[in-house]
Chains A and B, each alone.
Chain A
């Protein structure tokens, strides 16, 4: 052995290496944090950012010649198809209308249910929360599938309505747009409730009581005191409901005959292997969605500011 290291065996090099490593507090803080965040950053770049760059690239390849996408080509043909096809226009419109209806319902019902959870106490709170979390534990395939025996013409809802005498003939809820709306609402409602409830839970009930003592009616105290404070939760609920419902796949496919963009895109990808067109349609949908989400949150923010009591 040579040099200053007089320790025998492996211990020497290891302890030397160890003392050469800076301690956690010696290493500069920003270097440490960068090192710790690096794996996630690398992952997000490789599995999220780069794939979207490739989606964009594939949307710009020549998809017109035949059904297979051709690497290396450049063409706006697929975008032209999206902008010119009446079929695609009606599909996109249908997706947005479905998304808008489900979003409005999910925010209104979510607001009401979150308020009920907030105002309840003890076991009731736990039960109401459980009813929101339980559906989340079930895959959306199954959540959607359960509506068939309930809503079909020979299903439970029709049976009950017929036997009570409210109906003389069964209504076809599925397959129909009503079924898709109900199914999709059931998928997004739990997230809406939790988003709104998480904000409500931090609110001070005393403010509502004060408003009532000053003579505000229940609805008025709700609109003027509760609503402005939960606006951040409402925005999150609206954005989540909207993004997922415009992109709805399972509920429309299983419960309705209406074709959403997601159902059509799956057909293009898996059925027809038209990569370029599927990519272009996805890019257009993403842009339309981002614009809508920006508008929704701007509008809600505006109302949030308007209702502000301060």
Chain B
């Protein structure tokens, strides 16, 4: 009995320590963003909002923010279209050979180190002569974001009621009509969550962006990287805090959207 309580105690201490350690770096980022001095220390000696003021006066950061949003939205749209269509196609596929290669093909890019993907795509886009536009960044990020949309949609479609499609066809709906009016409304939560994940992935991604962006298209993580290598100052913490908040708000919105939907379904 005594040994058992000791084991339980050790187990609890173990995972609570890990819990604290996992959140500590994020705490460092948020705390240092309020540092009064330019020296990066945790905890900061004194607090102020001076670096937040700096952020809103800095054209480079604001441009990077804009770039991140543009690339993120582009990625979310492209990845969602590709992922949703492919997942739906996979679901109604009756064992074609091409169907069986879609899953692995969409998954493999996730397992290749981003540095190798970055090098490969930089060479490719250079050959094509389309280096340094938003397009190259969106295409690269879509490579990573599509698997997420695809797997979210696979699980959503697995719960879809296929008789609805037959009913729609009986009523004379064409393929596009039934997809837009019958399939999509049923899975729109999944589409939303998948698109959001794609957006967040793009917002955070940095190694491929490092290779593919130019001065005019650099995203927030890329600019943060350049700044960090020059000097460690609280400005990067400010930007990171915004980035954390941004992703968190997006996730909460997603949770709310899916839950509200659920609530209204219960009421109707």
Chain A residues at the B interface, C-beta cutoff of 8 Å: 18, 21-27, 29-30, 32-37, 39-41, 43-44, 47-48, 50-52, 54-55, 58, 109, 112-113, 116, 127-128, 131-135, 137-143, 145-150, 154-156, 186, 189-190, 218, 239-240, 243-244, 246-250, 254, 261-262, 265-266, 269-270, 275, 278-279, 282, 285-286, 289, 293
Chain A proximity mask over B166-186: 1 for CB below 8 Å, otherwise 0 = 101100111100110000000
Return the contact of B42 from the options A34, A149, A279 (Cβ within 8 A).
A149
Is there an interface contact between A40 and B146, defined as CB atoms closer than 8 Å?
yes
Number of chain B interface residues as a range:
35 or more
- Please, which residue of chain B has its CB at the minimum distance from the CB of A254? B228
- A40 near B82 with CB under 8 A, answer yes
Given A244-B113, A282-B119 in contact, is the A140-B86 Cβ separation under 8 Å?
no
- Does B40 belong to the interface (CB within 8 Å)? yes
- Interface-lining segment among B54-62, B187-195, B217-225, B257-265: B217-225
Q: How far is the CB of A237 from chain B (nearest CB, A)?
A: 13
Q: Contacts of B232 on A, CB cut-off 8 Å?
A: 145, 148-149
Contacts of A261 in B (CB 8 A): 115
Q: A37-B89, A131-B23, A149-B28 are in contact. List 15 more A-B contacts (CB 8 A).
A: A23-B178, A24-B169, A24-B173, A25-B165, A34-B93, A47-B139, A54-B120, A58-B123, A135-B22, A142-B236, A146-B25, A149-B41, A155-B41, A247-B113, A248-B113
- A-B pairs with lowest CB-CB distance, top 6: A247-B113, A36-B89, A116-B15, A146-B25, A33-B93, A51-B124
Give the CA-CA distance A96 to B172 in the complex, in Å: 60
Bound: A138/B178 CA distance, A: 39
A137 touches B224 (CB 8 A): no
Say whether A112 contacts B14, CB under 8 Å.
yes
Contact of A269 among B86, B122, B175 (CB under 8 A): B122
In the assembled complex, 25 residue pairs joining A and B whose CB atoms fall closer than 8 Å, in A order, are A24-B165, A24-B169, A34-B93, A36-B85, A40-B146, A43-B82, A44-B105, A47-B140, A55-B123, A116-B11, A127-B19, A131-B23, A137-B204, A138-B240, A139-B206, A142-B29, A146-B25, A150-B28, A154-B41, A189-B22, A250-B206, A250-B225, A254-B229, A279-B119, A285-B113
Flag if A47 contacts B93 (CB, 8 Å): no
Q: Is the CB of A278 within 8 A of B119?
A: yes
Q: A138-B204, A148-B232, A149-B28 are in contact. Are A279 and B123 (CB under 8 A)?
A: yes
Contacts A51-B123, A150-B42, A218-B7: A18 and B174 contacting too (C-beta < 8 A)? yes
Does residue B76 face the partner (Cβ distance < 8 Å to A)?
no
B136's nearest neighbour on chain A, judged by CB, is: A47
State whether B206 touches A32 (Cβ < 8 A). Answer: no
Asked if A36 and B88 make an inter-chain contact with CB atoms under 8 angstroms apart, the answer reads yes
User: With a CB–CB cut-off of 8 A, which chain B residues contact A25?
Assistant: 165-166, 169
Residue with the highest number of chain B CB atoms closer than 10 Å, among A43, A109, A218: A43
Query: Which chain A residue has the least Cβ–Cβ distance from B224?
Result: A141
